[in-house]
């Protein structure tokens, strides 16, 4: 008789519901491909009376995660509840029982990944997390397995569908930030707390996970520099377009060269960051639109690679959960533990994470200034004193009045130096409000 692997599902919402439906609809396909059956024997939700558009048999339904995790018939636990408290407790309990766990919970991995992976090792139970980054794109497997012979030189990703959707519609339709965010919430890809998306935290959780795999050590959340998209306005999107760029929220993991004698760490390291950036229109990431995600990885053997797909939503995310379930079931059958260890340092040793203050970039700056002679000269003098070069400066027509926008494109400068100069510029009598500062991403760098 064909071997059966029993699953315990925690959560039956957007992703849990799609996993539950796919497991029943694709039972024969999966059995044929894997040579074993995946069967849901227990499933916990918060509200058993909720109409979910699918039927959970009473014999399977629970409201307490413990009933699922401690059920002796459950071989693999699938955590799709979200949050970082109950989910942490449930995953630790499952691992302590030696049960493999599949999760899509990037917020939890970001906050407690080190502890969870250590528990998995201690209890010889595997932890799978393909769906935690970029929804349906199998980027975890690609980094861990397919690119195993490569050192990662640079990774740049559009890993938050909500922000990409907002920026795309602001660019293509001139839509308003708040209206588009409301649409993203209606369509089900914004987090329950949308500030996780628009302030860059969700992208930071995912970027930290990718950085940890790519560089072989756990990158703590406080080592990831985070900026969201609240400050990006329609005029910045239009100005960037005039200059040949598209603004994208990027998750970036890149090698940073040593800057002799500068900062506390004058040795090479990696930058792990999330920020809105101007991407040249001829780079593929510039044409990744709406809720789509893409991750560009440059390996030292393979060169440039690009992985594109749906980064959110029930079915795409469930597709990655099924991939993990297949691995979990096959690893159980072959009694395989830690088949591909989660974080293995490169032969050259543990890299260090460079603080953003020390990383250099080119910049786009928008100032609002009083339209009178001599203003450009004063701004240029502050930048000159900070040794920051200007590559172009313009004042778009059609904004005549008391206060007008001025756009500056700046040569490479360390973040801390740029910030200091911007604080001085903001204090000039002719400058109004806070300057908008965005990085110009050099996609050849890293
Ligand atoms: P969701 O729609 O809010 O579903 C959460 C589910 O968990 C619901 O079924 C809820 O029950 C259940 N639940 C919550 N607390 C519970 C508890 N204490 N005990 C038992 N059940 C509990 O969330 P989701 O969008 O499916 O996301 C699930 C996870 O996948 C999250 O970690 C999320 O970050 C991640 N993820 C989501 C997406 C996406 O596109 N949605 C993509 C990638 C990763 P009720 O239904 O009764 O309320
Ligand atoms: N809120 C997330 C996004 C869901 O917009 O990408 C997928 O992780």
pTM score > 0.85 for this model? yes
The chain-wide mean pLDDT, for the chain, equals 93
In three-state secondary structure terms, 191 is coil
Alpha helix ranges (H) inside 150-267: 161-173, 177-187, 195-198, 201-215, 234-242
What is the model's pLDDT at position 261?
Answer: 46
pLDDT at 262: 53
Query: What pLDDT does residue 296 have?
Result: 98
Residue 263's pLDDT is 55
Can you give the pLDDT at residue 147?
96
Sign of CA dihedral 406, 412, 413, 419: positive
Q: Tell how far the Cα of 384 is from the centroid of ligand 2, in angstroms.
A: 41
Compute, in degrees rounded to 10, the torsion defined by CA atoms 174, 175, 181, 183.
-130
- Would you list the domain boundaries of the chain? 3-141+314-333, 143-310, 359-440
Question: Phi/psi at 204 (nearest 5 deg)?
Answer: -70, -40
**Nearest ligand to the C-alpha atom of residue 51:** 1
Q: d(Cα 193, Cα 15) in Å, to the nearest integer?
A: 17
The per-residue pLDDT for 260 is 47
CATH class, domain 3-141+314-333, is: alpha beta
Query: Of 3.40.190.10, 3.40.50.620, 3.30.360.10, 3.40.50.1820, which CATH number belongs to 143-310?
Result: 3.30.360.10
Q: Which atom of ligand 1 is nearest to the CA of 132?
A: 44
Q: Which helix (H) or strand (E) holds 359?
A: none
Residue range 359-440, CATH number: 3.30.70.260
Residue 313 CA: nearest ligand 1 atom is 40
- Our answer on whether the CB atom of 45 is closer than 6 Å to any ligand 1 atom is yes
Low-confidence stretches of the chain (pLDDT < 50) are 260-261, 347
Look-up of token digits 């240029």: 380
pLDDT at 349: 59
Is-same-fold flag (143-310; 359-440)? no
Tokens encoding 282: 């001829």
pLDDT of residue 401: 64
Q: b vs e for 214-242, b when ≥16 Cβ sit within 10 Å of the residue's Cβ? A: bbbbbbebebbbbbbbeebeeebbebbee
Does the beta carbon of 104 lie inside 6 Å of ligand 2?
A: no
Query: Over the stretch 127-137, which tens digit does the pLDDT of each residue have?
Result: 999 999 999 99
State how far the Cα of 161 lies from the Cα of 168, in Å rounded to an integer: 10
At 246 the three-state DSSP class reads strand
Which ligand is closest in space to the CA of residue 110? 1
Residue 254 has a pLDDT of 96
Point out which residues pair with 406 in neighbouring strands: 367
For ligand 1, the distance from its centroid to the CA atom of residue 295, given in whole angstroms, is 25
């Amino acid at each position: 008789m064909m071997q059966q692997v029993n699953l315990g599902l925690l959560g039956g919402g957007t992703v849990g519901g799609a996993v539950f439906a796919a497991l029943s609809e694709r039972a024969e396909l999966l059995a044929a491909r894997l040579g074993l059956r995946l069967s849901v024997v227990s499933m916990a939700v918060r509200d058993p009376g909720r109409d979910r558009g699918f039927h959970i048999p009473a014999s399977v339904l629970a409201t307490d995660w413990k009933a699922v995790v401690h059920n002796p018939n459950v071989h693999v636990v699938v955590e799709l509840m979200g949050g970082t408290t109950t989910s942490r407790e449930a995953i630790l309990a499952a691992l302590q029982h030696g049960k493999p766990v599949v999760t899509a919970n990037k917020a939890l991995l970001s906050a407690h990944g080190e502890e969870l992976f250590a528990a998995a090792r201690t209890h010889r139970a595997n932890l799978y997390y393909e769906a935690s980054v970029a929804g349906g794109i199998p980027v975890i497997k690609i980094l861990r397995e397919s690119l195993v012979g490569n050192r990662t030189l640079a990774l740049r990703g559009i890993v938050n569908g909500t922000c990409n959707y907002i920026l795309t519609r602001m660019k293509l339709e001139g839509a308003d930030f708040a209206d588009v965010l409301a649409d993203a919430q209606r369509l089900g890809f914004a987090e329950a707390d949308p500030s996780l998306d628009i302030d860059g935290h969700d992208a930071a959780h995912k970027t930290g996970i990718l950085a940890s795999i790519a560089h072989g050590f756990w990158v703590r959340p406080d080592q990831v520099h985070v900026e969201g998209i609240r400050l990006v306005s329609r005029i910045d999107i239009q100005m960037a377009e005039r200059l040949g760029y598209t603004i994208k929220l990027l998750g970036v993991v890149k090698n940073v060269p040593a800057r002799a004698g500068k900062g506390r760490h004058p040795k090479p390291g990696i930058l792990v960051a999330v920020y809105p950036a101007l991407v040249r229109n001829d780079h593929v990431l510039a044409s990744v639109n709406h809720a789509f995600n893409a991750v560009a990885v440059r390996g030292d053997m393979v060169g440039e690679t690009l992985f594109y797909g749906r980064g959110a939503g029930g079915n795409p995310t469930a597709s990655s959960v099924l991939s993990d379930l297949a691995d979990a079931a096959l690893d159980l059958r072959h009694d395989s533990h830690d088949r591909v260890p989660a974080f293995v340092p490169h032969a050259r040793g543990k890299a260090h994470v460079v603080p953003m203050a020390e990383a250099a970039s080119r910049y786009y700056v928008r100032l609002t200034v009083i339209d009178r002679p001599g203003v450009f000269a004063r701004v240029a003098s502050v930048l000159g004193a900070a040794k920051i070069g200007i590559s172009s400066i313009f004042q778009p027509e059609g904004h005549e009045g008391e206060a007008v926008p001025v756009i500056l494109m700046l040569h490479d400068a360390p973040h801390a130096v740029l910030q200091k100069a911007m604080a001085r510029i903001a204090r000039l009598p002719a400058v109004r409000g806070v300057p908008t500062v965005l990085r110009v991403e050099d996609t050849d760098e890293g």
